[in-house]
Amino acid sequence: MTGKEHWTRKGDVRLFLWQKSPAAAARGTILFVHGSSMASQPTFDLQVPGRPDSSAMEWFAARGFDTWCLDNEGYGRSDKSRPINCDISNGADDLDVASQYVLKNSGQKKLLVYGISSGALKAALFTQRHPERVARLALDAFVWTGEGSPTLAERRKRLPEFQSKNRRPIDRAFVRSIFQRDHPGTADDATIEAFATAILALDDSVPTGTYVDMCSKLPLVDPAKIPVPAIVMRGEYDGIAGFDDLVEFFKRLPNPDKQFAVMAGISHASFQQKNYRTVYHILHAFFTQPEAVYRGGHA
């Protein structure tokens, strides 16, 4: 399936977007939002020989969705020139600009938004700021206050280092560590290596801002201010997304059209796991859910 590159601007900053479209008229438009340590195409349009449907974008496009992803400022093919650490709020600013571009080009009135890890924080903050642009919101590997997160507890030990610079180096060993820290064995080696190769082809360092925010500034999102239908997706073994923390966040989401999904046998990078088809199924079901015809006392 052929993709198409797009570019838009946030002031002087050039942002890269990538699109894969369905053969016929789209049943909806998905905007995928990447995490802290990798750009968008390796996450959402990964190709792994012998692993069918490794590209989430192609899987959803084959089912009628117009699929888009963007590289946040400081990542991948987007600009990396400003001397800033590209934090969560800055990423939500990117989504503001990108969403306007995608809506204009897709002809849709609202987007289906999926974010993973710090991308889920960016997606949630963007939705809090612009709920009128979001039809449905999916938050995968999300963190609210950070309570109960062993990964963040370990990461906080390096907070002064992250605060001291705008970028941090990444290499193949680092990418492998993402899959080793929570529960080794949830992803196969060929997928991990393909993921690492795709990431490192675009970046040898990434911004520190999301790490600083997740270690020292949570909570960044108020669930009471997210009025759209939402799903919270948590891998069984995810060391970032504390279960009780997410349940408390979920309780406070005001829209009764909401779901909480625990994904068995999955740790943190869900689309790269052995059970990735479970993730696709859950997300597809949420994005294709019929609108409620009866809402009781709700307008």
The mean pLDDT of 83-88, rounded to a whole number, is 98
- pLDDT averaged over the chain? 97
In degrees to the nearest 10, what's the CA dihedral of 200, 202, 203, 208? Answer: -120
Does the pLDDT value for residue 298 go beyond 70? no
For residue 283, tell me if it sits in a domain.
Answer: yes
For residue 126, tell me if it sits in a domain.
Answer: yes
pLDDT at residue number 296: 84
For residue range 16-59, what is the model confidence (pLDDT) as tens digits? 999 999 999 889 999 999 999 999 999 999 999 999 999 999 99
For residue 293, tell me if it sits in a domain.
Answer: no
**Owning domain of residue 196:** 4-287
Does the pLDDT value for residue 149 go beyond 80? yes
For residue range 261-286, what is the model confidence (pLDDT) as tens digits? 999 999 999 999 999 999 999 999 99
For residue range 195-215, what is the model confidence (pLDDT) as tens digits? 999 999 999 999 999 999 999
For residue 292, tell me if it sits in a domain.
Answer: no
Span between the terminal Cα atoms of the chain, in Å: 42
pLDDT at residue number 295: 85
pLDDT at residue number 49: 96
The pLDDT > 90 percentage for the chain reads: 96
Q: Using an 8 Å Cβ cutoff, are 121 and 244 in contact? A: no
The mean pLDDT of 66-84, rounded to a whole number, is 98
Query: Among 234, 278, 232, which residue's Cα sits nearest to residue 257?
Result: 232
CATH of the domain at 73: 3.40.50.1820
For residue 33, tell me if it sits in a domain.
Answer: yes
For residue 175, tell me if it sits in a domain.
Answer: yes
Full-model pTM: 0.97
For residue 254, tell me if it sits in a domain.
Answer: yes
Query: Domains in the chain: how many in total?
Result: 1
For residue 22, tell me if it sits in a domain.
Answer: yes
Does the pLDDT value for residue 299 go beyond 70? no
DSSP state letters, 236-250: TT-SSS-HHHHHHHH
The mean pLDDT of 245-252, rounded to a whole number, is 98
Does the pLDDT value for residue 297 go beyond 80? no
